[in-house]
C-alpha cells in the first residue's frame, strides 16, 4: 500500500499499543467500541453526494475459506487503494465501531485496514461475542 504504517489516527495509535502489548485485550476492545471507523458502502448518491446511513450497503467479501468479511478502515485514506478493486464502493460512512457492530449481521467477520500492518482481523465468532458482551442489539 502507498501509505506508510505509521499511525494516522487515534484508532491506529490504539491498534499499535495493543500490538505492542501496551494495552490488554479488554482495554483495547473497550476503546475500540467508541473509535471512529470508515466503512465502504455501495455508492448511491441520493442528494448531492450524501449517503443515507439507514440504507447503507457495506462491502462484504468472501475469503478463500468461504467466510464473509466486512473490510473497515481507520481512515478513508487507508481505504483508497484497496477500494480501487471494488467499483461502486468508493464512498463510505464514518461511524463509531459500536454502530457498525450493531448493524453487521451474525456470521460476518471484520478486517480492519486489510493490507496494512496496523490492522487486524476479527472472526465472525469474535464479532458475535463482542456484540453479546456489550449488549449491542
Q: What domains lie within the chain, and their CATH numbers?
A: 36-133 (3.40.1350)
**pLDDT digits over 6-56, tens only?**
667 889 999 999 999 999 989 999 999 999 999 999 976 544 444 455 667
* pLDDT value of residue 55: 66
Asked whether the predicted pLDDT for residue 3 surpasses 60, the reply is no
* pLDDT value of residue 43: 77
Strand segments (E) across 53-128: 61-62, 68-72, 92-96, 108-112, 120-122
What is the rounded CA–CA span in Å between residue 31 and residue 50? 28
What is the rounded CA–CA span in Å between residue 137 and residue 133? 11
More confident residue, 136 or 98: 98
**pLDDT digits over 70-113, tens only?**
999 999 999 999 999 999 998 899 999 999 999 888 899 999 99
* Bridge partners of residue 36, in order along the sequence: 96
> What pTM was estimated for this model as a whole?
0.85
Instruction: Give CB contacts under 8 A, 24+ apart, made by 15-24.
Output: 15/74, 15/112, 15/113, 15/118, 15/119, 15/120, 16/118, 19/118, 19/120
Q: Which helix (H) or strand (E) holds 80?
A: helix 76-83
* pLDDT value of residue 49: 47
What is the rounded CA–CA span in Å between residue 119 and residue 16? 9
* pLDDT value of residue 136: 55
Amino acid at each position: 500500500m502507498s501509505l506508510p504504517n505509521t499511525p494516522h489516527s487515534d484508532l491506529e495509535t490504539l491498534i499499535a499499543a495493543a500490538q505492542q502489548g501496551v494495552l490488554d485485550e479488554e482495554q483495547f476492545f473497550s476503546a475500540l467500541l467508541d473509535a471512529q471507523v470508515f466503512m465502504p458502502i455501495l455508492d448511491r448518491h441520493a442528494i448531492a453526494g450524501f449517503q443515507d446511513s439507514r440504507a447503507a450497503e457495506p462491502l462484504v467479501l468472501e475469503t478463500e475459506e468461504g467466510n464473509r468479511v466486512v473490510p473497515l478502515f481507520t481512515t478513508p485514506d487507508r481505504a483508497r487503494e484497496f477500494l480501487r478493486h471494488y467499483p461502486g464502493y468508493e464512498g463510505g460512512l464514518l461511524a463509531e465501531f459500536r454502530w457498525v457492530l450493531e448493524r453487521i449481521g451474525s456470521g460476518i467477520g471484520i478486517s480492519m485496514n486489510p493490507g496494512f500492518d496496523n490492522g487486524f482481523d476479527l472472526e465472525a465468532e469474535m464479532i458475535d461475542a463482542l456484540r453479546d458482551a456489550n449488549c449491542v442489539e
